A and B are shown apart, each in its own frame.
Chain A
Amino acid sequence: EVQLVQSGAEVKKPGESLKISCKGSGYNFPKYWIGWVRQMPGKGLEWMGIVYPDDSDTRYSPSFRGQVTISADKTINTAYLQWNSLKASDTAIYYCARGSLSQLDYWGQGTLVTVSS
């Protein structure tokens, strides 16, 4: 069974750093892209970027390039989304999903990130 399990909810202060994770199981993790999607409170889905774990090829949405870092460690079947300096506007649920630029077929349960002073 394909599963993506994300790390737990986080509460951070503005300016702090954060790295959240997404662990895949039940399939050949290195050979499938992992995408990250943001959903701000009460809003729609936003594409952030995607990483291919086998060679760490990474593509960013123009809206998120320079704001976050997407990475993966194929040795432990885990993808990451990282911030160096959080802002209140980063408060959102972040989803990882397996797939490609065309489709995302399996999704993680989401990680709620709350940034508040």
Chain B
Amino acid sequence: SSELTQDPAVSVALGQTVRITCQGDSLRRYNVSWYLQKPGQAPVFVMYGENIRPSGIPDRVSGSSSGNTASLTITGAQAEDEADYYCKSRDSSGNHVVFGGGTKLTVL
């Protein structure tokens, strides 16, 4: 099992707001990065830390963190946001990297 816990699946109505969470004790000390992956494609980097977005990622995607929980929020969800979302950070020792189990986002 991963040291970073994600809900396996989340759904959101088209145009609504959804929050995808990632929990782990190491998140109190280390930043998280987020990746989305669509079927048959390589992962794509979408967020680092609190709201550092790579170019090309729309500003309706935002990141935040509080305590042991990091969140990726999508405002005004679109059909193209449907994907698996993974968080990544350090493990509790800080010496190694771990991914969360992933969250499958369905846009209804």
- Measured CB to CB, the closest approach of chain B to A62, in angstroms, equals 6
Q: Does B10 reach chain A (CB closer than 8 Å)?
A: no
State which size class the interface on B falls in: 20 to 34
Query: By the criterion CB–CB under 8 Å, are B44 and A103 in contact?
Result: no
B-binding segment of A12-20, A43-51, A71-79:
A43-51
> Scoring A residues 84 to 99 as 1 if CB is less than 8 Å from chain B, else 0, what string do you get?
0000000000010101
Contact of A109 among B30, B42, B99 (CB under 8 A): B42
Give Cα A63 to B44, complex, Å: 24
Q: Which residues of A are at the interface with B, using a C-beta cutoff of 8 A?
A: 35, 37, 44-47, 50, 59, 61-62, 95, 97, 99, 101-110
Top 7 A-B residue pairs of the complex, sorted by shortest distance between their CB atoms: A103-B33, A44-B102, A47-B97, A107-B42, A45-B99, A103-B48, A105-B45
